[in-house]
Amino acid sequence: MTQRISIRPSRDLRTHYAQLSAEAKQNPIAITVNGREDTVLLAHDQYMAQQQKMEEMESRLTVYAHLAQAADDVKLGRVQPADEAFADILRELRADP
């Protein structure tokens, strides 16, 4: 889904805010200052959806990093049977005060 970005001068924020607000609910709006893009006006729902998507992507990247480390451990032979690993974990948990 590609969104069309409107380009509007900053003075429109003062003179046509209601129109910009309604427009931003459909597509982002680039606000210009002295003819150069300066700020992007985005509907709150769209902003929150982008934030959530970024958080989900960061979570996935974290999982992928752990999986890559695990794959390297297997390739390098840094493995042990699961029952030994669980026994080590339980031993460490019992040792903590």
State yes or no: pLDDT of 4 exceeds 80: yes
**% of the chain residues with pLDDT over 70:** 96
State yes or no: pLDDT of 1 exceeds 90: no
Burial category of 41 from C-beta neighbours within 10 Å (exposed 0-12, middle 13-18, buried 19 and up)? buried
What would you report as the CA-atom Rg of the chain, rounded to the nearest whole angstrom?
25
Read off the pTM.
Answer: 0.68
Q: How confident is the model at residue 97 (pLDDT cuts 50, 70, 90)?
A: low
Q: CB-based contacts of 33: which residues, under 8 Å, 6+ apart?
A: 9, 10, 39
pLDDT at res. 92:
93
pLDDT in tens, 34-62: 999 999 999 999 999 999 999 999 999 99
